[in-house]
């Protein structure tokens, strides 16, 4: 027995035990009724948790040692401990989770709003890495890499004509800030391969995808997440729209926005309420501690009518934004019922470089409602979108299930409900063609087809954005070419289904082409021309039917 315990497997145990014990100790604190709340800290240490006895620690350690030493089959220590950790956290709620050291960097990038790399958007077409666009101001643009360039080699590795995956290429391109990387580039106009040396730098991940004017008075801002830079990006967008275009009204689009930092949402909300100390959201933990977030009263620009667009993918900080606007009758909420995530997580670094993201409180809208949906049935929780589709909720307002019948009241006395997301003031059903199986199977081939179309028609597409938006359309012949291309890639030819989705397919192709020509903003400018939720927002603002109590 003693000899077995000295085997190489024990190295894995020693590596993982601090992490596992930290998780066990935290779970003990969360579920123990007499223990004190855990302090906020950078890393866990057993001495920080005197309430956890050595017997409890020893029990877990002993169990894993026996499995490693005596189990009939060889086990992977890393996977075993990971399974134990996941099982522990799954007993709590859907949003408390363990993040491995490898995963933590990617997760942090999304919230921190940047990563270290060379600054290009690219795609893999068959077996070729193609640059869609260099990021403006990034290191690739600085050395002269252009849209349409094909990357044939990275350092000494040939990537053209090989089976490198998207992740493989990203791993090779990313690296420590300041380090240089050699790229072999084949440019359409040149026969020879050019070599570029690119010095990696900090590359921003933008959370505002688009900001432009929907009409002469109304601006539109699309927020894809609430990262560390979202408020700054939002304010830059507002400033541009007000000073350059005279914006008076604003549509904020947080559809498919999964949330992020709560404080970023409250800072944006502060710019929508001119009064000081107006309650925007509050949080409460298990021990009754209440934290309130209020408006500052320091607004930089006057914004009249406000409209917030939400859907089934709007969660967390997105729901905080929509909930405050709705409760104070500051403007219309338009779309479909939001996701329903009303739990607040804090992230704690563990000793091995991984992290624990632990639910520490619930948040409540100004009227006092919690919009967290039930997670008693995790199968139902994980399959939420499918359940909403089958129930008819995405298509019919009266199919929305009001789980909590408690009535809450907005500032003007309107009744609203909690217990499962924000229900919009104005419901707009989903376009069922977007859920059509044949459309979804064809859609995956749109990026490559549109890029090939761009390469073949680059000169004809050299036009101003306004001209493209109003004049360009894919012809029936070009749509047929796309259909043929998808069939070559393995999609079954179905003429009846193709005719049903032809219009939305043409819109999708044009929007994707606009993204190539005019970046992310171009995509939304095309799509929003026919988006029923955006069009409803414009209609309500033009009717001057604002709910605002700001005057």
What is the SS3 assignment for 210?
strand
Residue that is written with structure tokens 């893999």 in the block: 124
Please confirm, yes or no, whether 197 is among the known catalytic residues: no
Buried b (16+ CB within 10 A) or exposed e, 47-58: eebeebeeeebe
For the chain, the C-alpha Rg in angstroms (whole number) is 26
> What number of H helices and E strands is found in the chain?
18, 21
Check: CB of residue 474 under 8 Å from CB of residue 460: no
Comparing CA positions, the residue from 342, 328, 405 lying closest to residue 370 is: 342
Residue that is written with structure tokens 């979202």 in the block: 230
User: How many Å apart are CA 427 and CA 70, to the nearest integer?
Assistant: 60
Comparing CA positions, the residue from 59, 70, 47, 53 lying closest to residue 17 is: 59
Please confirm, yes or no, whether 316 is among the known catalytic residues: yes
Set 341, 510, 515, 536: catalytic member: 341
User: How many Å apart are CA 263 and CA 160, to the nearest integer?
Assistant: 45
CB-based contacts of 280, cutoff 8 Å, min separation 6:
266, 269, 270, 273, 293, 294, 295, 320, 324, 366
Residue that is written with structure tokens 């894809």 in the block: 224
What the block records as the tokens of 306 is 């406000």
Set 270, 295, 345, 546: catalytic member: 345
Comparing CA positions, the residue from 205, 131, 134, 220 lying closest to residue 526 is: 220
User: How many Å apart are CA 428 and CA 503, to the nearest integer?
Assistant: 19
Set 211, 237, 295, 316: catalytic member: 316
Please confirm, yes or no, whether 207 is among the known catalytic residues: no
User: How many Å apart are CA 542 and CA 531, to the nearest integer?
Assistant: 17
Active site residues: 316, 341, 345
């Amino acid at each position: 027995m003693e000899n077995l315990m000295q085997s190489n497997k024990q190295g894995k145990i020693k590596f993982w035990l601090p992490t596992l014990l930290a998780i066990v100790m935290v779970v003990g604190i969360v579920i123990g009724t007499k223990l004190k709340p855990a302090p906020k800290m950078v890393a866990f240490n057993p001495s920080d948790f005197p309430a956890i006895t050595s017997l409890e620690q020893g029990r877990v350690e002993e169990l894993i040692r026996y499995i490693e030493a005596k189990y009939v089959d060889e086990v992977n220590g890393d996977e075993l401990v990971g399974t134990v950790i996941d099982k522990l956290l799954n007993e709590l709620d859907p949003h408390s989770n363990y993040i491995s050291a490898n995963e933590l960097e990617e997760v942090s990038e999304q919230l921190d709003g940047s990563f270290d790399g060379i600054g290009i958007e690219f795609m893999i077409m068959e077996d070729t890495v193609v640059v869609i666009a260099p990021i403006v101001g990034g290191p690739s643009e600085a050395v002269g890499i252009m849209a349409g360039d094909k990357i044939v080699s990275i350092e000494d590795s040939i990537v053209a004509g090989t089976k490198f995956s998207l992740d493989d290429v990203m791993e090779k391109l990313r690296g420590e800030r300041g380090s240089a990387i050699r790229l072999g580039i084949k440019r359409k106009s040149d026969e020879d391969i050019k070599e570029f040396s690119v010095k990696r730098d900090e590359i921003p991940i933008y959370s505002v995808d688009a900001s432009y004017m929907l009409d002469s008075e109304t601006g539109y801002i699309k927020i894809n997440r609430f990262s560390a830079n979202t408020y700054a990006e939002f304010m830059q967008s507002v400033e541009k729209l007000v000073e350059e275009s005279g914006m008076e009204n604003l549509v904020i689009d947080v559809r498919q926005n999964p949330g992020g930092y709560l404080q970023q949402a409250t800072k944006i909300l502060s710019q929508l309420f001119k009064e000081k100390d107006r309650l925007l959201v509050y949080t409460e933990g298990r021990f009754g501690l209440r934290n309130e977030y209020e408006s500052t009263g320091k607004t930089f620009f006057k914004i009249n009518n406000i409209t917030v667009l939400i859907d089934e993918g709007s969660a967390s900080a997105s729901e905080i934004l929509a909930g405050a606007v709705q409760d104070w009758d500051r403007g219309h909420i338009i779309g479909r019922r939001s996701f329903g995530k009303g739990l607040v997580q804090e992230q704690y670094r563990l000793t091995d470089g991984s992290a624990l993201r632990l639910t520490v409180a619930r948040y409540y809208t100004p009227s006092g409602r919690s919009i967290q949906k039930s997670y008693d049935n995790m199968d139902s929780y994980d399959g939420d979108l499918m359940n909403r589709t089958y129930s008819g909720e995405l298509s019919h307002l009266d199919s929305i299930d009001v789980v909590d019948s408690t009535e809450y009241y907005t500032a003007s006395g309107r009744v609203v409900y909690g217990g499962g997301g924000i229900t919009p003031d104005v419901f707009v059903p989903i376009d069922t063609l977007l859920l059509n199986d044949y459309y979804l199977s064809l859609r995956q081939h749109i990026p490559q087809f549109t890029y090939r179309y761009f390469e073949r028609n680059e000169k004809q597409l050299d036009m101003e954005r306004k001209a493209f938006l109003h004049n360009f359309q894919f012809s029936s012949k070009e749509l047929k070419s796309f259909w043929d291309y998808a069939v070559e890639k393995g999609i079954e030819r179905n003429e009846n289904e193709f005719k049903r989705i032809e219009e939305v397919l043409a819109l999708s192709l044009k929007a994707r082409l606009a993204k190539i020509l005019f970046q992310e903003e171009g995509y939304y400018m095309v799509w929003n021309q026919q988006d029923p939720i955006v069009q409803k927002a414009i209609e309500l603002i033009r009717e001057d039917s604002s709910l605002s109590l700001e005057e």
